Amino acid sequence: MPRSENDKADGQSMAVLAESLYIANLLIIPVIGFSILFYVFLSRRRHAPPLARSHLEQTISASLWLAGLFIMLATGIALLKYSGMDDVSLWIILVLAFTILHASMVLLGVLGLAKAMAGKGWRFPLVGRTLPDDCPR
């Protein structure tokens, strides 16, 4: 439970910042958005209120999972290319997989941002970390 209203407001604003940086990383400024998010995570996670810490952990976890999935997707496409599949089929698979994965993660990021703006905790499905007990739901 927050010690004061100021702690609650600080936690909520940091949660909104984390979710905004996650979305910015996906849509506007890739890599730069993640770098800023990672810096905020490393510098603030130990002293952040539970709500902010939860959103920071969720966005870092989701970003790292997404990066891993994109690397696996690229590796899979490269392996399919060497298996003799024609280039047109590979491009169709690549565009469809990237679009579905990327759009899903953006949608989940927007839902996380809405939860942060409401002052509530949020857990990304499948890739999110468990919410702490003291995080508002």
Q: How far lies 113's CA from each of 17, 24, 64, 75, 109, in Å?
A: 9, 12, 18, 31, 6
Tell me what pLDDT residue 6 has. Answer: 64
Q: Give CA angle at 60 (57, 63), nearest 5°.
A: 145
Please give the pLDDT value at position 37: 97
For residue 62, how many other CB atoms are within 10 A of its CB?
24
Question: Using one digit for the tens of pLDDT, what is the confidence trace for 106-133?
Answer: 999 999 999 999 999 988 888 877 777 7
With a cut of 60, say whether residue 2 has pLDDT above it.
Answer: no
- Report the greatest alpha carbon distance in the chain: 63
Tell me what pLDDT residue 66 has.
92
37-48 pLDDT, tens digit per residue, is 999 999 998 999
- pLDDT tens figures, 22-37: 999 999 999 999 999 9
Tokens (6 digits) for 133 = 């007990």
pLDDT in tens, 74-88: 888 888 878 777 778
Q: What is the mean pLDDT of the chain?
A: 88
The number of angstroms, rounded, from the C-alpha of 24 to the middle of its chain's C-alpha atoms is: 10
